[in-house]
Chain A
Amino acid sequence: MLEAIELTKRYEDGELALDGLSFKVEPGEIFCMFGANGAGKTTTINLFLNFIPPTSGTALIEGIDVAKDPLKAKKHVSFVSENVMLYGNFTAIQNLDYFSRLAGKRTLTKKDYAQVLGRVGLQKEAFDRRLKNFSKGMRQKLGIAIALVKDAPNVLLDEPTSGLDPQSGREFLEILVQMRDAGKSVFMSTHDIFRAKLMADRIGFMKKGKLVMMKTAGELAHDDLTELYIQYMEEKPAAAGAA
């Protein structure tokens, strides 16, 4: 489970990136967070990964305070970032092997890696190819494979579908649904309204570091999400009061 309690981040230059953000992602749930660039989505993920310390508030992974015990907390989370470049001189399997080992998975074989890479939709002939010539979509798939191999109960995704072609996007969506079905808590920051509507259990809108709206999939069933997005991002003033 992922939980943010009154999470606030003010940078040294005085910019308030997060302002008392609170939410919870339950096991078996996909939470999609929307927001314009600079709204605080990535800052939220950075706080959950302890890349930056919070000014106040708490980020909890499986009930562990990330700021207090980051290494223990990070055992329980996988991360997929927006632009995964990875190691260009390594093959897909070598990249996967390295990050699996960092995640503490040392007993996996080449066969296991091949299975995961197949699962994310990477073509077999690409397994042993150097990443230098991989497209962004292929790299993204590998990034997801890295998260899958770790098999942590929580997954943080930072705009993972940007740059994916429709086919890859669909495969990605299926994987996320599988993760949810396996009981994982999935937090995804995204601009991809179309895919979010297809898979999200809950959706939140952020503006200027605040969560300005939060709705469940049921509540959104009859709403036009695109319209809602534009409305919240452009018109409504920032205000606390998540639904």
Chain B
Amino acid sequence: MLRDIIKKEILDNITSPKFVFTFLLCAVLILLSVYTGVANYGAEKKEYTAAVALNKKNLESQPNYSSLAGIGIKVNKAPQVLGTVVTGIEEDVGRVAPVNIAADPNLIESKYGSNPVFAVFGSLDLMFIVKIVLSLFAILFTYDTIVGEKEKGTLKLALSNDVPRDRLILGKAIGGYISLLMPLLVPLVLSLIILLVAPNLALSGQDWGRLLLIFLMFFLYLSVFFSLGLFISARTSRSSTSFLILLFIWVVFVMVIPKVAVITAGQVRPIPSVHEITAKKDAFLQQVQVEGQKGIREWAVKNQPAKGEDPKVFQEKFRQYIQDYQQELTSKIDENNAALERDYQLRKKAQQNLAVNMSRISPASALTFGSMTLARTGVDEYDRFLAAVRSFKPIYTKWVNSKLGQSINFQTGQQSTIKIDDMPQFTLEPESLGKSLVRTLPDYVLMVIMIIIFFVGAYVSFLRYDVR
């Protein structure tokens, strides 16, 4: 009997115009999004490779270490291969982090920043399609599952037989879910094939694992809306009412909760603005520079070369002093900046965590954060990258300061040409799949809990449903 109910449910759905419409729209949107994702990734990778080469060339072309220290270096953020399916915040936050002695590294030159027209339309990635379009389809497939049958009179007719209600709701749920997945599976499989054969994509085993986990999250997300639709359908007596309630909940889940959570977190845990922090850093830098100049003058007065002393000895002493003093001042600046930054980051993290945790009431937020973490295109990856660049900065400044000191010839005032072979290189160890999975576990758990709550709600409601 269960098989008959499932079969009927699938047949009823796939012969409906909504199925054909869903199938066509899913196929077009999913394939288009993956295609554009692959094309974008290819372009970004090319751009990244070119930028890295250009940076290197630019460094090598610097006449001396002073000039190198002045312009600093640029650390380019490599595009993430899974950005093809979950763009995340990659296009908003910038792709380059300049590292120099004076300023604290930050990501600049975002895609949206350099071409704001992209920001107007946003990115059409697979996660967006699942979050917005497919969740609406899940509602479209379920809003009349129970109440629609009541209106048609088929529920009465079915239950006039010795059909247990639990079996009927189970059959309808399974059949309905299969019907919803059918228009998704074909384009999703085709998308996987595109990802597999695309020439400029090289997905590692771990990337495939991440991709499958992202797809699992997509299915769980759709299941939340599917079971919610089933639940509301079993709680209402008119399909129009059911649809309106579901639409309202959808707007709250997808639009309201994520925004309200961020605003509330901002109110509950306020943080100073970036400009405030920058002003503090600049003030300290200025103070150190003044102190530095004073220090040099004092040293020069105190360590005047004695008459008859070889000027080379003095120059050597002065060079050593400048090198050490420069390093000392830089360390001082770095320490102060690091302390400010640490405090700022801690407060920002606390605010972020509050916003994330509050917004997780919404499955849309859970999907957003979870899939971005798995694709390594989210806020946490951005923080990780920036933290790594900031840790790299003292290493670089130490190197460039030492080079500066060694390269100045005080007699001639000339500096030796630069060699960057021994320049420390920035590396970022990718986050392991296990770590990402641990961080997305709350999102999976929350979605599963919601599915269970809504399905049990639908099940219990249907057992008591007034079929008249």
Contact = CB atoms under 8 A, between A and B. Distances in A.
Interface of A: 42, 46, 49, 51-52, 71-72, 74-75, 77-79, 81, 83-87, 89-90, 94, 98-99, 101-104, 143, 146, 150, 156
A96 B159 CA distance: 15
Interface string B1-22: 1001100100110011000000
Contacts of A79: 156-157, 160
Contact of A51 (B5, B15, B152, B159): B159
Most chain A C-beta atoms within 10 Å of own C-beta, residue among B1, B158, B159: B159
A81 B151 CA distance: 12
B156 A89 contact: no
Interface stretch (B161-169, B234-242, B290-298, B372-380): B161-169
Given A46-B468, A84-B157, A98 B4 contact: yes
Nearest to A130: B15
Main secondary structure of the interface of A (DSSP, over half): mixed
B466 A102 contact: no
Contacts of A72: 162
A147 B152 CA distance: 17
A51 B162 contact: no
A46 B15 CA distance: 32
A73 to B, nearest CB: 8
A102 to B, nearest CB: 5
Contacts of A146: 157
A89 B15 contact: yes
A99 B153 contact: no
B14 to A, nearest CB: 9
Nearest to B14: A89
Given A90-B12, A101-B1, A78 B152 contact: no
B162 A87 contact: no
Nearest to B5: A102
Interface residues on B, range: 20 to 34
A74 B154 contact: no
A87 B154 contact: yes
Contacts of B468: 42, 46, 51-52
B136 interface: no
21 contacts: A42-B468, A49-B159, A49-B160, A51-B159, A51-B468, A71-B162, A71-B163, A74-B161, A75-B162, A81-B156, A81-B157, A83-B153, A84-B153, A85-B153, A86-B152, A90-B12, A94-B11, A98-B8, A99-B161, A104-B161, A104-B162
A77 B12 contact: no
Given A84-B153, A102-B5, 14 more contacts: A42-B468, A49-B159, A52-B468, A71-B164, A74-B160, A75-B162, A79-B156, A84-B157, A85-B151, A85-B154, A99-B157, A103-B161, A104-B161, A146-B157
B467 interface: yes
Nearest to A46: B468
Nearest to B7: A98
A86 B154 contact: yes
Interface of B: 1, 4-5, 8, 11-12, 15-16, 151-154, 156-164, 466-468
A150 B154 contact: no
A71 to B, nearest CB: 4
B150 to A, nearest CB: 11
A74 B164 CA distance: 11
A150 B162 CA distance: 11
A77 B161 CA distance: 8
A112 to B, nearest CB: 17
A75 B16 CA distance: 31
B322 to A, nearest CB: 85
Contact of B163 (A89, A102, A143): A102
Contacts of B156: 49, 51, 79, 81
Nearest to B158: A102
Most chain B C-beta atoms within 10 Å of own C-beta, residue among A78, A87, A102: A102
B61 to A, nearest CB: 71
Nearest to A48: B160
A101 B4 contact: yes
A146 B15 CA distance: 22
Nearest to B17: A89
Contacts of A78: 160
Contacts of B11: 89-90, 94
A81 B153 contact: yes
* Closest 3 pairs (CB-CB, A-B): A79-B160, A85-B152, A89-B15
